[in-house]
Amino acid sequence: MHTQKRDTRHGFTLIELLVVIAIIGILSATVLVALNTARTKGADADIKRSVAQMKRQVELYVDANGGNYTNVCRETVANGTKSMYDMGVALARKYEKSYVYENATPGSMSAVVCHSDATRWAVQAPLQTLPSGATAHYFCASSNGVTVTATILRLGANDYTCE
Using DSSP, state whether 97 is helix, strand or coil.
coil
Residue 40's H or E segment, with its range, is helix 14-64
Residue 139 within a domain = yes
pLDDT at 146: 86
Domain that holds residue 131: 14-150
CA dist 110 and 100 (Å) reads 10
Residue 114 within a domain = yes
121-126 vs 138-142, strand pairing mode: antiparallel
**Sign for the pseudo-dihedral over CA of 148, 46, 86, 54:** positive
pLDDT at 139: 92
Q: Which residues contact 163 (CB under 8 A, 6 or more apart)?
A: 142, 144, 146, 148, 154
CA dist 93 and 100 (Å) reads 12
Residue 6 within a domain = no
pLDDT at 3: 65
Which one, of 142, 134, 116, lies nearest residue 125 by Cα? Answer: 142
Residue 70 within a domain = yes
Domains: count for the chain:
1
Average confidence (pLDDT) per 10 residues, the chain, 163 residues: 66 90 94 89 94 93 91 90 92 90 63 89 89 84 88 78 81
Residue 85 within a domain = yes
Using DSSP, state whether 137 is helix, strand or coil.
coil
Residue 9 within a domain = no
pLDDT at 161: 85
> Could you give the angle at which helices 14-64 and 85-94 cross, rounded to 10 degrees?
170
